[in-house]
Amino acid sequence: MASGNEFDIREYLQFRKRMIDAALGGYLPPEDAYPPAIFQAVRYSIFSGGKRIRPILCIAAAEAVGGKLDTVLPVACALELIHTYSLIHDDLPAMDNDDFRRGHPTSHKVFGEAIAILAGDALLTEAFHIIASESVRQAVNHETLLQVIHDISEAAGLYGMVAGQAADILSEGREPEITALEFIHHRKTGAMIGVSVKSGALLSDAGEGEIFALTEYGRNIGLAFQIADDILNVAGDSQAMGKETGSDQRSRKLTYPALMGLEASRQKAQSLIKEAVSSISMLDHRADPLRMIANYVTAREY
């Protein structure tokens, strides 16, 4: 990817991030609501430096098929709430036991475990509260909204992210195996990234072919993104990750680099990116942000 383009995509991502941050701020209640600790904890984790890749993908998918920003922004924010809930719970002592995330102490280090668990629960619940809110109901076709709620809850739940995290935890210390690893990555990260893209398409009344293409794009980029994260965890410096690198290795987690080595992992990520980009070849220039995001994912600091 040319460096001129790379400059553009960084600006695009920054611009979108600021827009999403502003919208998130509007959806979350003020910190002084009662009892303050839980509202503070919710805001703390939401505003701890996330890249907003899921809402950005949702918006970019809508852009790609001529959708409207107003229609897609609330759902984009809801996706970030669900992502943030999953990080809070994943970081808990009983789970991955991480003290830092993105350079900040994790929620349970700041607010205690009980409030951290509840902050995660609240974010997951509020996601559906936002999607089903009156203002969204007035702006979006109801059948589409229900389909989006269905797809997001499927991607987040027992057939998606929760199953992936459970399999991940249960696999610690086991012999690495490619089928187990793909199961984990597809569900733990791929499902939510896939549904972020698909939701943007659904909310923009995309045609069946477009929805299929964008879902394929999302599936591929989701797995590529997780492999890139695995690689960063092994090869990146701890500053770029905001947490100690090598932590996955210490807890003997299943990762691509552990299973197939760094070089083969990089190639796998690259080929998934190619597949992602080729699956949306039917879409016009409005899908360029999606193409650039795909390339950017594996062009990060490693």
Q: Candidates 5-13, 37-45, 214-222, 255-263: pick the segment binding a copy of itself (CB under 8 A).
A: 37-45
Binding mask 97-116 for a copy of itself (x = CB under 8 A): ---------------xxxx-
If the CB atoms of residues 31 and 275 are measured against a copy of itself, the closer one turns out to be 31
Closest CA to 189 of 216, 163, 153: 163
Count of alpha carbons within 13 angstroms of residue 266, beta-carbon side: 9
If the CB atoms of residues 30 and 261 are measured against a copy of itself, the closer one turns out to be 30
CA distance 269 to 267: 5
Among 9, 20, 24, 42, binds a copy of itself (CB under 8 A): 42
Shortest distance, position 180 Cβ to a copy of itself, whole Å: 9
Q: Candidates 54-62, 65-73, 133-141, 236-244: pick the segment binding a copy of itself (CB under 8 A).
A: 133-141
User: Could you count the other beta carbons within 10 Å of the beta carbon of residue 252?
Assistant: 14
* Residue that the structure tokens 């987040």 belong to: 156
Please check whether residue 240 is in contact with residue 285, taking contact to mean a CB–CB distance below 8 angstroms: no
If the CB atoms of residues 169 and 235 are measured against a copy of itself, the closer one turns out to be 169
Q: Candidates 157-165, 236-244, 253-261, 274-282: pick the segment binding a copy of itself (CB under 8 A).
A: 157-165
* Residue that the structure tokens 């016009």 belong to: 284
Shortest distance, position 93 Cβ to a copy of itself, whole Å: 8
If the CB atoms of residues 130 and 221 are measured against a copy of itself, the closer one turns out to be 130
Shortest distance, position 112 Cβ to a copy of itself, whole Å: 7
Closest CA to 245 of 296, 302, 170: 302
Among 2, 4, 32, 142, binds a copy of itself (CB under 8 A): 142
Could you say whether residue 95 binds a copy of itself (CB under 8 A)?
yes
Among 1, 22, 33, 282, binds a copy of itself (CB under 8 A): 33
Could you say whether residue 139 binds a copy of itself (CB under 8 A)?
no
Contacts 24+ apart (CB under 8 A), 174-182: 174/254, 176/254, 176/258, 176/259, 177/254, 177/259, 178/259, 178/260, 180/254, 181/254, 181/255, 181/256, 181/259, 182/223
Contacts to a copy of itself by CB under 8 A = 29, 33-35, 37-39, 42, 85, 89, 92, 94-95, 112-115, 117-118, 120-122, 124-126, 128-129, 131-134, 137, 142-143, 145-147, 149-150, 153-154, 156-159, 162-163, 165-167, 169-170, 183
